[in-house]
Structures are given as C-alpha cells and as structure tokens.
Amino acid sequence: MTWLDIHHVELRSEGGRHALENLICVCARHHRAAHRGKITIDRNEAGALRVRHADGTEYGRSVKPQALEVCAKVFSALRHLGFREAQVRAALEQLQREPALVQASFDGLLREALARLCPWRAALTVLRRPEPLFPTAVGVRQRSRRPAFRISSR
C-alpha cells in the first residue's frame, strides 16, 4: 500500500491556504525533502507546478551531490536561525543566479545568504574594528570576552 502526504505549495505556516490549487500529493520522502531544503516545489509564472533540486536545477537532471548538500545545509542552518522557509528559499534562489557562487563553500554561501536576509547586519560588520581601540600594555593579561547574552536558569 502506498501512502501520500498533502503538501502546501505556499506553506500553511506562512499564510498558505487549504485551497485545492495550493495543495499537491507527494510521497513522504519527497515531502520531507521539500521541508529540509533538498528540493523546491513551487509554481512558475504561468502557474504550472515546478520541482527543482536545492541548487536550482530541474528535478531529474544531473546534479553535483556536493552542491546539493551545501545548499541543503545552508537552508537548514537558516531555518534553525529562525528565518521563514519562504525567506530562505528566496535568498537562495537569488544566490543561485550568481555565477561566482556556484562552487561556494558552506561558509561562503551562508554568509552571502545572511547578507541578503539581514542587510543591516552586513553593514554592522563593516563598521566593526578588527583591533581594540585601546591596546593593552605588554605583559598585562586580557580578560576573556563576555558572551553577548546570558542564559539564566530562573
């Protein structure tokens, strides 16, 4: 017996409706792959269903497994940072159109995606000074940096 999952093309958690034109049937494996960022299921400009690999290639075409894995890991990292799935997909689609990022590493792709998702944060990193304003005297032990936040056990 074969089981199918119902997938919202426009995610329910992000405002998608239960309307028939927003629902498709997929097997459990492809449903998990869609929510893990390994494949993308959406509609093109004409409204036709479009399925693509994480790197943007049409589903079923030959792909580079390493590139797929990097894209899926960046997708997962951004989702775990709290970004919405639609935001993450849009940022990754923009980056896939840039030839310089085709062979990007995980770190490089994640940095570029964060720059797209948080342009104000990218501006802050430019303003950050790499060296302290007041250098310490020779032989004086520096205190370790405190974390930017504390976890309280209250």
Q: Write out pLDDT tens, residues 11-30.
A: 888 888 989 888 999 999 99
CA distance 42 to 51: 7
What total number of domains does the chain contain? 1
According to DSSP, the residues that pair with 40 across neighbouring strands are: 52
Residue 132: inside a domain: no
Query: Which among 109, 22, 41 has a CA at the least distance from the CA of 72?
Result: 109
* pLDDT tens-digit series, residues 50-76: 999 888 888 888 888 888 889 899 999
| Confidence class for position 133, pLDDT limits 50, 70, 90 | very low
Look at residue 131 and tell me whether its pLDDT is greater than 60.
Answer: no
Residue 136: inside a domain: no
Residue 53: inside a domain: yes
Q: Token pair 């944060």 is at which residue?
A: 121
Query: Which among 34, 29, 76, 75 has a CA at the least distance from the CA of 53?
Result: 34
Residue 22: inside a domain: yes
Residue 148: inside a domain: no
How distant, in Å, are the alpha carbons of 42, 48, 57, 133, 146 from that of 38?
13, 20, 11, 45, 37
Residue 134: inside a domain: no
**CB of 84 closer than 8 Å to CB of 92:** no
Whether this prediction's pTM lies above 0.75 is answered by no
Burial 8-43 (b: 16+ CB within 10 A, else e): beebeeeeeeeeeeeebebeeebbebbeebbbbbee
Higher pLDDT, 131 or 32: 32
Higher pLDDT, 7 or 125: 7
Q: What is the pLDDT of residue 153?
A: 58
Residue 86: inside a domain: yes
Domain that holds residue 97: 5-127
